[in-house]
Homo-oligomer: A and B are copies of this chain.
């Protein structure tokens, strides 16, 4: 895998944090409601730890958002990043140079 590899947990963390902040919920409140340690949720939000499927479901339940919505948002995030990577990684062709068959 190249340096540009997109990681699910990074986008998942962004989406979960954005949802929590949209609801003006503190890490402490989410931790208490989801019964998951505050430090663990914080690491997940920063994309540093993988969330197990059970934990992800518990966080969605505590945030009162369907798992499908969270996954759709993550998919949108990842898609935007894939497009950005394509632009960055596209070979730069000098203008005026035309490929010729050898």
Contact = CB atoms under 8 A, between A and B. Distances in A.
Interface of A: 1, 5-10, 50, 52-54, 56-58, 61, 66-69, 71-72, 74-76, 78-79, 82
Contacts of A68: 75-76, 78-79, 82
Copies of this chain per assembly: 2
A54 to B, nearest CB: 7
B72 A75 contact: yes
A5 B78 contact: no
8 contacts: A1-B58, A5-B57, A66-B78, A68-B82, A69-B75, A71-B74, A72-B72, A72-B79
A66 B66 CA distance: 23
